[in-house]
Amino acid sequence: MKQKSNNKLPRNSNLGVGIAIGVGFGVAIGVALKNIPIGIALGVGVGTALGASLDGQSKRKSKSDDIQPE
């Protein structure tokens, strides 16, 4: 029997990639500031914003590709 998937994000979402990159930079910033939790928190915030903006760009691009001139 198949289970219904409750995924809210499409499979090609860039949100996870943005968070991963942000956490990486956040850890580096946290080590430099000698306060890793603050760095991680900043990285997650910046990464979420980065991932959301990448998703928005890809959606706009796909919509413009769907529109064909008459």
pTM: 0.68
Q: What is the pLDDT of residues 8-63, one digit of tens each?
A: 656 677 888 899 999 999 999 999 999 999 999 999 999 999 998 988 887 777 66
User: Is 63 within 8 Å of 23 (Cβ atoms)?
Assistant: no
Which two structure tokens, joined as six digits, stand for 49? 């914003």
The CA-based angle 51-16-41, given to 5 degrees, is 80
DSSP code per residue over 6-64: ---S-TT-SHHHHHHHHHHHHHHHHHHHT-HHHHHHHHHHHHHHHHHHHHHHHHHHHHH
CA distance 44 to 30: 12
**Domain locations in the chain?**
15-56
